[in-house]
Amino acid sequence: MSGRLDGKICLVTAAAQGIGRAIAESFVREGATVVAVDLQPIDDFGPSGRVAVCQADVTDADAVSALARRHEGVSVLVNCVGIVDNGSLLECSAEALNRSFRVNVVSMYNTIGAFLPAMQARREGSIVNIASVVSSVMAAPGRFAYATTKAAVIGLTMSVARDFVADGIRCNAISPGTVLSPSLRGRMEATGNFEAAHAAFVARQPMGRLGAAEEIAAVATLLASDEARFMTGANVVVDGGMSL
């Protein structure tokens, strides 16, 4: 199927690399006009002419409000920004926990709060939040701040879905398992033994492999499209069986 997002303006955060980049590219292929947002510089998307690149910090409410004023027609919002802090509760400082909430949760509060009113006015909108299977779905060792904040993302998603369903707004979450991304690759390299770290991540995947960013993007494309117009408040687990 092609042209599934024809006529839609879609804003994707963390679009410079990994899952965010794969989602933005999938949306462009399906006919959307994409606003690609990241704190880091974003590489060129090619000659499609349907991508506006914006460098912005979505944990900054004023920066997000400015984005919303420049792009009033956004009907699909994808929140991909996130960080992974390691450690148990006893190893997690208050500063690290606050940072995780600011990046993983408050960023979504900012973007949804800024773009939702225009969606309400048009009575049309799809919000897709990237959560994680390590959340309220399952636990993983040494992921206290990450799991706590990603569980909050699932709760945020359900709350927004319930409060605005009558306004034509859909809000869903995707909970990936372990996806090979530049971020994960960097964390594996930081251990000093990339091969051992990679093998450990693969070992916890029943399918015997890590996920690909494009596999998460395929689900995001479905949720953004009118094919999923009866879906809201869902948490779609895409984890290769990790949580079974």
Give the separation between CA 223 and CA 78, rounded to whole angstroms.
10
In the set 146, 150, 177, 217, the catalytic residue is 146
Give the separation between CA 43 and CA 46, rounded to whole angstroms.
9
Neighbours of 139 (CB within 10 A): 12
* Distant-in-sequence, close-in-space partners of 74: CB < 8 Å, separation ≥ 6: 9, 10, 11, 35, 68, 115, 118, 119
Give the separation between CA 54 and CA 40, rounded to whole angstroms.
9
Is 109 annotated in the active site?
A: no
Give the separation between CA 134 and CA 136, rounded to whole angstroms.
7
- Positions marked catalytic: 146
